Amino acid sequence: MKLKINSEKGPRKAWSPYTLIAKGVVISAFMLIGMQTSLQAQDTQYTRPSWWFGVAGTANFNFYEGSTHQLDANFTPTATFHEGQGIGLFVAPLIEYHPADSRWGFMLQGGLDNRKGKFDQVKAPCNCPADLETDLSYVTIEPSLRLAPFKGDFYMYAGPRFAYNIAKSYTYQLGINPAYPDQAVTPEATGDFSDINDMQISMQVGAGYDIQLSSQNHQTQWVLSPFVSFQPYFGQTPRSIETWNITTIRAGAALKLGRGREIPAPPKAETITPAEVVVVVPPVTFMVNAPANAPEELKVTEVFPVRNYVFFDAGSAEIPNRYVLLKKDEVKDFKEDQLQTNKPKDMEGRSDRQMVVYYNILNILGDRMVKYPSTSVTLVGSSRQGTKDGREMAESIKEYLVNVFGISGSRITTKGQNRPDVPSEQPGGTNELVLLREGDRRVSIESTSPELLMEFQSGPDASLKPVVLTTSQVAPVESYVTFVSKGATEAYKTWRLEIKDEKGTVQHFGPYTVDSVSIPTRLILGTTPSGDYKVKMIADTKAGRIEEKESTVHMVLWTPPQTKEGMRYSILYDFNKSKANEMYEKYLAEIVTPKIPLNGTVIIQGHTDIIGGEDNNLKLSVARADDVKAIIEKSLAKAGRSDVKFQVSGFGEEEKSAPFENKYPEERFYNRTVIIDIIPKM
Query: Residue 167: CA atoms inside 13 Å, Cβ hemisphere, count?
Result: 15
Closest to 518 (Cα-Cα) out of 572, 562, 486, 478: 478
- What was the pLDDT predicted at 360? 85
Q: Residue 595 corresponds to which amino acid? A: K
Give the span between the Cα atoms of 217 and 42, in whole angstroms.
Answer: 6
270 within 8 A of 264, measured Cβ to Cβ: no
- What was the pLDDT predicted at 409? 93
Give the span between the Cα atoms of 493 and 159, in whole angstroms.
Answer: 37
Give the span between the Cα atoms of 323 and 288, in whole angstroms.
Answer: 43
Strands 601-606 and 645-650: parallel
62 within 8 A of 246, measured Cβ to Cβ: yes
pLDDT tens by residue, 160-205? 999 999 999 999 999 998 888 888 888 999 999 999 999 999 999 9
338 within 8 A of 324, measured Cβ to Cβ: no
Closest to 529 (Cα-Cα) out of 540, 521, 518, 541: 521
- What was the pLDDT predicted at 332? 85
Stated as kind and residue range, the H or E segment containing 160 is strand 154-174
Worst-scoring range by mean pLDDT, 28-37, 200-209, 349-358, 397-406? 28-37
pLDDT tens by residue, 469-517? 665 554 555 567 788 777 777 788 888 889 899 888 898 887 888 877 8
pLDDT tens by residue, 42-96? 457 788 899 999 999 999 999 999 999 999 988 999 889 999 999 999 999 999 9
Using CB atoms within 10 Å of the CB of residue 264, give its burial: 0 to 12 exposed, 13 to 18 middle, 19+ buried. Answer: exposed
Task: Give mean pLDDT, residues 420-426.
Answer: 80
pLDDT tens by residue, 521-560? 777 888 788 888 898 888 888 878 888 888 888 888 766 5
pLDDT at 297 over 70: no
Worst-scoring range by mean pLDDT, 266-280, 450-464, 527-541, 616-630? 266-280
Closest to 355 (Cα-Cα) out of 608, 114, 625, 663: 663
- What was the pLDDT predicted at 355? 67
The b-or-e profile of 331-348 (16+ CB within 10 A means b, else e) is eeebebeebeebebeeee
pLDDT at 4 over 50: no
637: CB partners within 8 A, 6+ apart: none
Structural domains for the chain: 3-259 (no CATH), 285-294+475-556 (2.60.40.10), 308-424+432-462 (3.30.1330.60), 566-679 (3.30.1330.60)
Model confidence, pTM: 0.42
pLDDT tens by residue, 357-409? 788 889 888 989 998 999 999 999 999 999 999 999 999 999 999 999 999 99
Helix, strand or coil for residue 365? helix
Most confident by average pLDDT, 142-156, 542-556, 654-668: 142-156
- What was the pLDDT predicted at 106? 93
3-class SS string, 76-141: CCCCCECCEEEEEEEEEEEEEECCCCCCEEEEEEEEEEECCEEECCEECCCCCEEEEEEEEEEEEE
pLDDT at 455 over 80: no
- What was the pLDDT predicted at 291? 64
Residue percentage of the chain with pLDDT more than 90: 40
Give the span between the Cα atoms of 223 and 100, in whole angstroms.
Answer: 13
Residue percentage of the chain with pLDDT more than 70: 81
Give the span between the Cα atoms of 556 and 531, in whole angstroms.
Answer: 7
Cis previous bond, 305, omega within 30 = no
- What was the pLDDT predicted at 281? 52
pLDDT at 440 over 50: yes
Give the span between the Cα atoms of 599 and 601, in whole angstroms.
Answer: 7
- pLDDT band per the 50, 70, 90 thresholds, residue 21: very low
Number of neighbours of residue 310 by Cβ within 10 angstroms: 24
